[in-house]
Amino acid sequence: MRPVRVAVVDEHEIFRRGVVTCLADDPTIVVVADVAAGPVGEEADVVVVSPAAASGEEIDRPLVVCGEPDVVPPGDLVMAVLPRSTLTPDRLIGAVRAAAAGLRIDEGRGAALDAGRLDRRRLEVLRLLAEGADTQQISRELSYSERTIKSLIQDVERELGARSRAQAVARGIREGLI
């Protein structure tokens, strides 16, 4: 699987460096540009931008905007809006992955997301499902019985309002859980 290539465009250097550092910690993401303004080049799959950059730059890639929703310009390429006040590395990485997959994060649902909805164990099961692991593989990886894993998968599906494992993974990505 090819890594997601990301450009970061933000006029605030400290914030931009923080975003780049968070993204660099994920092995499935490669930062290909880190600029205050200007063109990002052809190699980026997704662009993480400030609201000012989103409205001032001509960017023809999916956008993840880090800013308050009321100051973000509308646009077909805005795939997610992540308020800086509640931004976490996991939400940023999840939004970038979702944007790369062509998924738009619904702010109504995303903003209402209760991070405590899934505990650490269920989040790990969801992450392994997203990687394509089956029940037996998850059981071995986490050292739980297959029966326990099946129960945890059902819990994840129920909490995310999903009817299948695939739908749970899609919703987990959309909501920035994985």
Question: Does 126 share its domain with 105?
Answer: no
Do residues 117 and 157 make contact, with C-beta atoms less than 8 angstroms apart? no
Query: 131 by DSSP, 3-state: which?
Result: coil
- pLDDT tens track for 18-46: 999 999 999 989 999 999 887 777 789 99
Determine which helix (DSSP H) or strand (DSSP E) holds 151, and give its type and residue range. Answer: helix 146-160
Residue 168's domain spans which residues?
115-174
Domain of 31, CATH number, reads 3.40.50.2300
| Chain centre distance of CA 93 | 4
Q: How confident is the model at residue 71 (pLDDT cuts 50, 70, 90)?
A: low
The number of domains in the chain is: 2
Give the Cα separation of 90 and 22 in Å (integer): 9
Question: Does 64 share its domain with 97?
Answer: yes
Domain of 138, CATH number, reads 1.10.10.10
Query: 34 by DSSP, 3-state: which?
Result: strand
Mean pLDDT along residues 83-106: 84
pLDDT at 42 (0 to 100): 77
Question: Does 61 share its domain with 120?
Answer: no
Identify the residue whose tokens are 């090819």: 2
